[in-house]
Amino acid sequence: MSTTLPATGHTSSLMAMVRIEAVRFARYPVFIIGALAAYVLQAVVGHAFTAAPYNHDVLAWMGGPGFFIALPAMVVAARLTGSTDVAAESLGTAPGTEARRTLAMAGACAVPFAAGMLWLAEVFALLAHKGVHPHEWWFATMNDLYVWAILLALGPVACLGGALLVVLCGRWLRFPGAAIVTVIAVTVFDLLGQAPWFNPGHEPTARYRLWVPWAVFHTGTFGNDSAAVRGYPKGSAAILPGNPAWYLLYTLALCALAVGGAVWHDRSARTPRLRLVGWFVVASAVLFLMLAILTGPQQVAVSKPLPWLA
């Protein structure tokens, strides 16, 4: 008997489970409201910025998907992960093993990733109306690979990673309100993890902030007081040190670790192969983080003053 047929059947059934969970994810009101808020507010911000001769602080827009898409996606991922298990227990038979249900939920996290990609498309549509100023940090003034890496890491991948993190926590944390605690904890963790390198005089060591899963690269525009304290030209903007390309790979490795850690909760899935893959991903994440910190720009890059802010 051929050994490929069962594998094919398992793959087909898993994909069917992914489609079911993805539809459930996309229909969840909290996620729909969050995504629509991201698109509407970005349109409002883009319109306000295009009232000036050029768009400005473009890379600072990256906070939108992380807040309005990723955070609601985390709540939805937790609810769906728990509801799938409750349904399986009530029926007395699970639709596949726990590991397969976990993989199905991980596959459904492509929904917030797609929402993040759509948000990114909206950004480019807004920028197509009016260009960015020649002094702005964008494709003309930065390494193109770095720009793409920042856009992807802080946009779609942040949306994907937030949802996968909660799938992981949903497997290991069973107390009431675990999803809310996770959302708050990861937000505080991320902010505090970067805080030591956002004080005047600490900019040369700011590359060490990259260990957090959502690291800021663009500091926004320096106003009068901020520019005076830091000794930068008034109305300038800055890019913090570090290699965004390696940082993107680091965040993707964290996503893979979240999936592996969630699957590991199923004792029947703890095979030597999964253990080997897990250690490989851990080693890759450490390597990518070290490369992100040690390569690329090592000092703060300050733009020339933007005319409407100088």
pLDDT, one tens digit per residue, over 103-146 is 999 999 999 999 999 999 998 988 887 778 888 888 888 999 99
In a domain, 104, yes or no: yes
pLDDT in tens, 270-305: 999 999 999 999 999 999 999 999 999 888 888 888
> Has residue 154 been placed in a domain?
yes
Contact 59, 150 (CB under 8 A): yes
Q: What CA–CA distance (Å, rounded) separates 14 from 204?
A: 48
| 2 domain residue, yes or no | no
- The pTM of the full predicted model, rounded to 2 decimals, is 0.88
Q: Per the domain annotation, does 307 fall within a domain?
A: no
Beta bridge partners of 55: 132
What confidence score (pLDDT) does residue 1 get?
Answer: 36
Q: What is the pLDDT of residue 52?
A: 61
Residue 8 lies in a domain: no
Place of tokens 């596949």: 96
* Domain range for 206: 14-302
Predicted local distance difference test score (pLDDT) of residue 2: 37
Q: What is the pLDDT of residue 92?
A: 43
> Which secondary structure element, helix H or strand E, spans residue 190, and what is its range?
helix 178-194
Total domains present in the chain: 1
The low-confidence residues of the chain, meaning pLDDT below 70, are 1-10, 47-53, 84-96, 197-204, 220-232, 308-310
Q: Is residue 114 part of a domain?
A: yes
* 172 found inside a domain: yes
